Amino acid sequence: DGGITQSPKYLFRKEGQNVTLSCEQNLNHDAMYWYRQDPGQGLRLIYYSQIVNDFQKGDIAEGYSVSREKKESFPLTVTSAQKNPTAFYLCASSRSGQGAFTDTQYFGPGTRLTVL
Amino acid sequence: GDSVTQMEGPVTLSEEAFLTINCTYTATGYPSLFWYVQYPGEGLQLLLKATKADDKGSNKGFEATYRKETTSFHLEKGSVQVSDSAVYFCALGGGRTGGFKTIFGAGTRLFVKA
């Protein structure tokens, strides 16, 4: 079955530690995204990538970093510089890099990160 | 910039009741409009979409019409089921002043009682 996988489902981190969230897709999609979801709020875009080896900052990129070395993978690192990292993180992909934001986005199941 | 405003929840309905969740938007250009649904503990999944004015998106008994004159994309269903309980997000994608990015509303939680 095609889809997006995120791991782990739950992640706990101590303050001051970096942590990397995994996102893999086998849909052969060009574009991939990372969103942050906080309780009672809509999704906020962290980073996106329309093509391999290229990515752009979203609205809340500070304290986060990404890489896109392979088409199917788009890992997100939450660094110690992120002041309030506890949240639900969603990865998504869409078919076309050119029409990225007008295409349907397909979401993974999410990773819930808690900073202790 | 571009924005999406949807009605606050939670919305509580009895099974077989009529559902409306209001969504209005602000955008320039020719954005696409979406409704996504999120079940507890899961990611979002597309419910329906419309790509131009007067288009009607429909899926699983849900419908929404892209109204440019009222800048609205209200979600409706004639008879809800308990299994429709979820959070519903209205979204706009490809609006020029939003940097062409997808803008999500805050979400509306729906509870359906048996």
B70-105 pLDDT, tens digit per residue, is 999 999 999 999 999 999 999 998 766 556 678 899
The CA-atom distances, in angstroms, between A14 and each of A65, A78, A115, B11, B15 are 18, 12, 6, 37, 45
pLDDT of res. A81: 86
Give B97 or B15, the one with higher predicted confidence.
B15
pLDDT of residue A23: 97
pLDDT of the residue at B112: 97
**In this complex, do B46 and A102 lie within 8 Å of one another by their Cβ atoms?**
no
Q: Which residues of B, range 72-111, sit inside 8 Å of A by Cβ?
A: 89, 93-94, 100-107
Can you tell me whether residue B96 is helix, strand or coil? helix
User: Is there a contact between B94 and A40 if contact means CB atoms under 8 Å apart?
Assistant: no
Minimal C-alpha gap between A65 and chain B (Å): 19
Which residue ranges of chain A lie beneath pLDDT 70?
1, 97-100
Q: Could you tell me which residues come within 8 angstroms of residue A84 by beta carbon, excluding any fewer than 6 positions away? A: none
Say yes or no to pLDDT of B58 above 60.
yes
Tokens of B47: 């419910």
pLDDT for A42 equals: 84
Note whether B100 contacts A101, CB cutoff 8 Å.
Answer: yes
pLDDT at A101: 74
**Paired sense of beta strands B32-38 and B86-93, if any:** antiparallel
Average pLDDT of span B49-70: 95
Q: What is the model's pLDDT at position A61?
A: 96
Distance (Å, whole) CA B18 – CA B59: 16
Query: What pLDDT sits at residue A3?
Result: 93
Half-sphere exposure (CA, 13 Å, Cβ side) for B63?
Answer: 10
B33 bridge partner residues: B50, B92
CA-to-CA distance for A65 and A43, rounded, in angstroms? 18
How confident is the model at residue A100, as a pLDDT?
Answer: 62
**A111 min Cα distance to partner chain B (Å):** 9
On the question of pLDDT at B13 being above 70, the answer is: yes
Give the closest residue to B25 by CA, choosing from A42, A48, A58, A35.
Answer: A42
C-alpha span between A81 and A115 (Å, rounded)? 13
A-chain residue closest to B32, CA distance: A102
Residue among A21, A41, A43 with most chain B CBs within 10 A, to mutate = A43
Upstream peptide bond of A109 is cis (omega within 30 degrees of 0): no
Q: Write down the pLDDT at residue B30.
A: 80
Strands A31-37 and A43-51: antiparallel
Beta-carbon-side half-sphere exposure of residue B76 (alpha carbons within 13 Å)? 11
Query: Whose CA is closest to A2, among A88, A114, A108, A84?
Result: A108
Mean pLDDT of the region B23-35:
91
Is B54 exposed, middle or buried (CB count within 10 Å of its CB: 0-12, 13-18, 19+)?
Answer: exposed
Tell me what pLDDT residue B101 has. 79
- Which of left, alpha, beta for B71 (phi over 0: left; psi -120 to 50: alpha)? left
